[in-house]
Amino acid sequence: MRQARTVISTYSADTFGVCSALYELGGMVVMHDASGCNSTYTTHDEPRWYNSDSLVFISGLTEMDAIMGNDDKLKDDVISAVEELKPKFVAIAGTPIPMMNGCDLEAVAMEIEAEAGLPCFGFQTNGMQSYLVGASEALCEFARRLTDKDAKKRQRAVNVLGATPLDFSINGSVESIKKLLKDSGWEIIGTWAMGSSLDDLARAGEAAVNLVISSVGLKTAIYLNQTFGTPYVVGTPNDKCFSEMVLRDLELAENDGKSRISFSNLEASAETRIYIVGEGVTSRSLAAAIGIKSGIVPKVVHTLEGLPELSGVLSKMDNQAMEEEEIQKAASDAQIVIADPLYRPILPGNCRFIALPHEAFSGRMFRKDIPDFTKIDVEKMLGQYEI
């Protein structure tokens, strides 16, 4: 059956990507949607919900408002909430209903911005694309609108782009990546967007180089490159052997101003039957680490759609497979697979399976087993398996 998922889970949607990316920045995020269960935008996909506050609202779209195109209600409600709660910015994001009746949220945002006098972003999300689309657009829009365009570059300063709990959970992975950078003498300007304030992010132009640690950060990296001329390095630090490559590339990029993809020289081995299934950048980074250690680079089955920027990141041997059947086919000859545990049932029964839970796919189910990326030791990970 095409386009159907009968066994595996689905990824967090674009709507939630927006919420996740903007969660810590002091703004107000309004999902233009029917009222009811808000937990899809908060508790299910948002591990920070219980420990830190964020203004995430549902507009309470009614059938009549949708039919009558009553955008004024959304506008008025947002403006009165702004007066009461004084957020630093507003983001309104679409869901299936407004998307179906053609509500132009970018235009509504423009009207709110003019009336309320604070930055307001409109996102044409529709709940049918993956979190990558929403999160990367949210970060990039933030970069377009709120970064200080007169910022002066500083030596050995770096932004970390693409940090959300959807890819890194809240188990210290992002902090460890930051520590790794600091220990190598880098000053971190902003981490987009975990653990940094709106003001930190606004200073993005000061960085000498940007580090993209997931697909979510790519679009912003490209924008910052075009706007400030900042080169970027794509790679998620993991095993020491690959982290060192990333650190070396950061230095090279700072020196010659050229962007780099740290795993680009480690093409997947044509013959290999080892696969990593999941998000492109983190998976390719892990494949690279395995390649460095074992001489065999696993193939990546990239399971998320919608980011044109990503095509430059994947290896020729990799596979883009979104649907259950495609994923199943792409890994049908697998001997070893590294993937979220919810993929296990569609993989060959006799393959050896190494669990690498992914919050955006299995939520909190296996959260305690999500590793701190920088503490991954690929030899240990592959452990008993001969490759």
- Shortest approach of another protein to residue 93 CB, angstroms? 17
- Shortest approach of another protein to residue 191 CB, angstroms? 32
- Shortest approach of another protein to residue 106 CB, angstroms? 7
Cβ proximity to another protein, 141 vs 254, nearer residue: 141
Residue type, 223: Y
Contacts with another protein by CB under 8 A: the residue count is 12
Span 80-139, contacts to another protein by CB under 8 A: 100-104, 106-108, 110-111, 114
Cβ proximity to another protein, 118 vs 252, nearer residue: 118
- Shortest approach of another protein to residue 3 CB, angstroms? 10
Dist. CA 96–CA 277, nearest whole Å: 28
259's CB contacts (< 8 A; 6+ apart) are 221, 225, 231, 232, 233, 234, 253
Cβ proximity to another protein, 64 vs 114, nearer residue: 114
- Shortest approach of another protein to residue 108 CB, angstroms? 8
The region, left, alpha or beta by phi > 0 then psi within -120 to 50, assigned to residue 348 is beta
Cβ proximity to another protein, 112 vs 177, nearer residue: 112
CA angle 57, 47, 119 (to 5 degrees): 40
- Shortest approach of another protein to residue 115 CB, angstroms? 8
Cβ proximity to another protein, 37 vs 100, nearer residue: 100
Dist. CA 164–CA 359, nearest whole Å: 10
The region, left, alpha or beta by phi > 0 then psi within -120 to 50, assigned to residue 352 is beta
Dist. CA 284–CA 268, nearest whole Å: 9
Site string for another protein, 265-304 (x = CB under 8 A): ----------------------------------------
Cβ proximity to another protein, 101 vs 255, nearer residue: 101
Give the residue among 230, 273, 220 at the shortest CA–CA distance from 250. Answer: 230
7 binds another protein (CB under 8 A): no
69 binds another protein (CB under 8 A): yes
Sign, Cα dihedral of 256, 259, 261, 265: negative
Give the residue among 232, 222, 228 at the shortest CA–CA distance from 253. Answer: 232
Q: Which residues bind another protein (CB under 8 A)?
A: 69, 100-104, 106-108, 110-111, 114
